[in-house]
Amino acid sequence: MKTANINIRLFGIPNCDTVKKARTWLEQQAIPFEFHNFKKDGLTQAQVETWLQKIELDTLINRKGTTWRALSDEQKSCADNRDDAIALILENPSLVKRPVLQINDDERQYVSVGFNDQLYQTIFKEI
């Protein structure tokens, strides 16, 4: 992997087990990355829109988590409309499936949601 003009950011919350596994994997591979704690540091509309250029809304929203289950039916129905869903995510960053891996280089941008060893091996083989 060439890391010269590559910016790698991992978005999540530090106490999430899947985020911990992703961070550990990146560290063990000596891949430099920036961690963004979106519960503490928040998310911007521009950031969420950037992700949605690369992935589907249904991929980004965690409909199995406790944050989703705590929403009212009216709030849940907002998740079907892109603009309303973005507003809902900005109000409740824990709705985002974790982690979100964003890789930018001079030529492209890559976004992935979730973690498993095989997925990250494939991603970083291509870079």
* Tens-place pLDDT, residues 3-43: 458 999 999 999 999 999 999 999 999 999 999 999 899 99
pLDDT above 80: residue 126: no
Taking CA atoms, 93 is separated from 5, 61, 70, in Å, by 29, 10, 13
Please report the pLDDT score of residue 51 as a whole number: 97
Q: In this structure, is residue 2 part of a structural domain?
A: no
Please report the pLDDT score of residue 59 as a whole number: 96
Q: Which of 6, 9, 13, 16 is catalytic?
A: 16
Q: In this structure, is residue 1 part of a structural domain?
A: no
Please report the pLDDT score of residue 4 as a whole number: 59
**Complete DSSP assignment for 14-51:** TT-HHHHHHHHHHHHTT---EEEEHHHH---HHHHHHH
Read off the pLDDT band of 2 (50, 70, 90).
low
Q: In this structure, is residue 84 part of a structural domain?
A: yes
Q: In this structure, is residue 65 part of a structural domain?
A: yes
User: Could you tell me the two tokens for 57?
Assistant: 């809304």
Burial of 93 (0-12, 13-18, 19+ CB in 10 A): buried
Q: In this structure, is residue 75 part of a structural domain?
A: yes
Sign of the dihedral through C-alpha 62, 64, 67, 71: positive
Q: In this structure, is residue 29 part of a structural domain?
A: yes
CATH of the domain at 89: 3.40.30.10
Is the full-model pTM beyond 0.95?
Answer: no
110-113 long-range contacts, Cβ below 8 Å, gap at least 24?
110/54, 111/50, 111/51, 111/53, 111/54, 111/55, 112/55, 113/55, 113/59, 113/60
pLDDT per residue as tens digits for the range 32-69: 999 999 989 999 999 999 999 999 999 999 999 999 99
Q: In this structure, is residue 109 part of a structural domain?
A: yes
Domain count, the chain: 1
Determine whether 78 is an active site residue.
no
Please report the pLDDT score of residue 68 as a whole number: 97
Query: What is the residue range of 76's domain?
Result: 7-126
CB 5 within 8 A of CB 91: no
Please report the pLDDT score of residue 107 as a whole number: 80
Read off the pLDDT band of 105 (50, 70, 90).
confident
